Amino acid sequence: MTLRFFLKASVAVLTALSMGQLSAQVTPIKFQLDWRFEGPAALFLTPVAKGYFKDAKLDVTVDAGNGSGGAVTRVASGTYDLGFADLAALMEFHANNPDAPNKPVAIMMVYNNTPASVMALKKSGIKTPADLAGKKLGAPVFDAGRRAFPIFQKANNIGNVAWTAMDPPLRETMLVRGDVDAITGFTFTSLLNIEARGVKADEVVVMQYPDFGVKLYGNVIIASPKIIKENPAAVKAFLAAFTKGAKDVINNPAAAIADVKARDGIINTELETRRLQLAIDTVINSPSAREEGFGQIKAPRLTLMASQVSDAFSTKTRVNSEAIWNGSFLPSAKELDILPRPKK
């Protein structure tokens, strides 16, 4: 009887130890978004909701953000392991903080094109980039489109413009009221916000940067050097699970919005579904993304962008494109083949 009790107790102890070891293998990851829980956030919330990260032995926490600059800074500080940020903001951080000990690096391209646009109301008479000369433009000081406007300006020989700064919630309101002649912003953010203020889409002039000679990359997944060094397997597992979830989101945006709604119950489901679809069509499943491959970059294009950002942002040092990118954790080409071909 004593032996039987001993054996049972031993089995129980071994089982508990085994479960503890399995539990210890789960890696917690804090992930910082670039913006609020809007449509595009589904790219990260869906793999959480569907358990793809959990299946990869990852416990991923996704937090809303307030801009790409903040996302880069928080990953650099060590507060977050991974994040989502505009590549230009990452380049700027590197070039302005050459001695920073924990500079994040880009590990996966998500927005193959910058979502930045200049938008104006048709009644303003602005039809082309040249018409912006002498006009009053508005955007928050940290807006990606405003920061990169000198590149757009140079590519299109635009004369001087005057800038008005405002908080993000006021940008589209000030355009509709006529306080500014045009604004910069992400197409899938500002265009729908303009519509929400009573202006029809066909009454808005949208000049997307990629359509006017500005071939900047957009948002990337970034990682801290610490997690890359200490747990490269977790980084690789994250990207594989993310890619699986991104495929689901691209194939069924309407269903994916439910995962965003679960995190922010007050979102407008119809509006955010449209926002997500617009993001997919313009910057995720774009012709250049299909050409280069989802998640990947082309070195010459990255080098050119580094030079353009150095000039436009007047950085302390020149951006070193080789220090920005680490594609060694990307899934296989077969796994990355998730972009549907456009319907003919």
- The residues of the chain that CATH labels 3.40.190.10 are 27-112+217-336, 116-212
User: How confident is the model over 114-165, as pLDDT tens digits?
Assistant: 999 999 999 999 999 999 999 999 999 989 999 999 999 999 999 999 999 9
Q: What fold does the segment set 116-212 form as a domain?
A: D-Maltodextrin-Binding Protein; domain 2 (3.40.190)
Q: Identify the CA nearest to 301 among candidates 218, 215, 220, 222.
A: 215
The domain made up of 27-112+217-336 has a fold known as D-Maltodextrin-Binding Protein; domain 2 (3.40.190)
For the segment 44-60, what is each residue's pLDDT rounded down to a tens digit?
Answer: 999 999 999 999 999 99
Give the single-character DSSP code of 341: P
Q: What DSSP line would sit under 247-258, residue for residue?
A: HHHHH-HHHHHH
Overall average pLDDT of the 220-248 stretch: 98
Contact 207, 195 (CB under 8 A): no
pTM of the model: 0.90
